[in-house]
């Protein structure tokens, strides 16, 4: 794997719905992207170094670090984007009642959504490039459900249409709230070590969800609609650029006002 001298950003969950757009946006803005995911995309854009890796294997992070180090010696940023998030457009059987949750599901979400980003930051700290004296950036992709709990009422029309009870599971909100606090904790801990640590909390992003869900989500959003994933990109770029050099420990909600109500 060729060592890239351009400024590099490590991006997890790079092949997913949001991650694929983040990848292309970063490339378009002259970043060398070290993309990490379990699924290799059909097309890897130029200036992207793809690493196929399961972030659930936290004990292997030192090996991952060595691969990243061999790819770039100018790492300036990390975006923790990978997460387990049950999607209403996918398998709705995962949207069960709290009373029916099992420990395996809980532990899986804790591992990928919270333990993985925290331990990845820990493992990669010593390979960031501080030689230019400019701050290195860590961006955690959180969620509005890490700021406020889900409004379960938005699932009621879909529950009626499908004939089953649908509830957003607790683990996603708990892990994202934990990641928000980890962001704040590390922003203080790393503040004088050359890092800015911030988070973005996207609201619901439209992705061919059932019309009943889209209608209800839009009804409970002050701007009256769901987000488009492209609307997250300028905030992510801001959190990587010099415009955020004096921002630290902030969780920016891009949610059409969802968390205001």
Q: Please report whether residue 215 resides in a domain.
A: no
Which structural domain, as residue segments, surrounds residue 24?
8-92+106-151+169-209+226-254
Judge whether 162 lies within some domain: no
Which position has the token pair 């987000």? 227
| Residue 39 resides in a domain | yes
The CATH code of the domain that includes 110 is 3.40.50.720
Residue 147 token pair: 């700021």
CA-CA-CA-CA dihedral for 186, 251, 81, 62, to nearest 10: 0
Angle in degrees, 0-180, between the axes of helices 61-71 and 116-124, rounded to the nearest 10: 50
3-class DSSP state for residue 44? coil
Distances (CA, A) of 188 to 24, 62, 182, 247: 31, 25, 10, 11
Is residue 76, in this structure, part of any structural domain at all? yes
Tell me whether residue 238 is in a domain: yes
Residue 187 lies in a domain: yes
List own/partner pairs for 152-156 with CB under 8 A and 24 or more apart.
153/216, 153/220, 154/213, 154/216, 154/217, 154/219, 154/220, 155/88, 155/95, 155/213, 155/216, 156/216
What is the total count of domains within the chain?
Answer: 1
Please give the chain's pLDDT, 261 residues, in tens: 556 668 999 999 999 999 999 999 999 999 999 999 999 998 899 899 999 999 999 999 999 999 999 999 999 999 999 999 887 776 677 798 999 999 999 999 999 999 999 999 999 999 999 999 999 999 999 999 999 999 999 999 999 998 999 999 999 999 999 999 999 999 999 999 999 999 999 999 999 999 999 999 999 999 999 999 999 999 999 999 999 999 999 999 999 999 998
Interior angle at CA 23, CA 232 and CA 128, nearest 5: 100
Establish if 214 belongs to a structural domain: no
Residue 98 covered by a domain: no
pTM of the model: 0.96
């Amino acid at each position: 794997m060729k060592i890239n001298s351009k400024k590099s950003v490590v991006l997890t969950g790079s092949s997913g719905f949001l991650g694929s757009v983040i990848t292309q946006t970063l490339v378009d803005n002259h970043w060398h992207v070290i993309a990490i995911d379990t699924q290799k995309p059909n097309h890897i854009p130029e200036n992207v170094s793809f690493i196929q890796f399961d972030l659930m294997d936290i004990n292997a992070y030192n090996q991952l670090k060595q691969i990243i180090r061999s790819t770039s010696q100018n790492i300036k940023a990390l975006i923790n984007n990978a997460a387990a998030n049950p999607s209403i457009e996918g398998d709705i059987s995962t949207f069960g009642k709290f009373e029916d949750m099992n420990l395996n599901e809980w532990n899986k979400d804790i591992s990928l959504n919270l333990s993985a980003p925290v331990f990845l930051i820990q493992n990669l700290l010593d390979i960031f490039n501080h030689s230019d004296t400019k701050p290195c950036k860590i961006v955690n992709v959180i969620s509005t459900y890490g700021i406020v709990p889900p409004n379960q009422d938005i699932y009621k029309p879909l529950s009626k249409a499908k004939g089953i009870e649908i509830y957003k599971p607790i683990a996603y909100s708990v892990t994202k709230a934990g990641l928000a606090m980890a962001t704040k904790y590390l922003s203080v801990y790393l503040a004088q070590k050359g890092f800015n640590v911030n988070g973005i909390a996207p609201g619901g992003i439209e992705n061919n969800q059932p019309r009943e869900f889209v209608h209800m989500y839009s009804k409970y959003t002050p701007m009256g609609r769901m987000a488009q994933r492209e609307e997250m990109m300028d905030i992510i770029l801001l959190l990587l650029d010099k415009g955020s050099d004096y921002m630290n420990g902030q969780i920016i909600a891009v949610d059409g006002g969802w968390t205001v109500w």
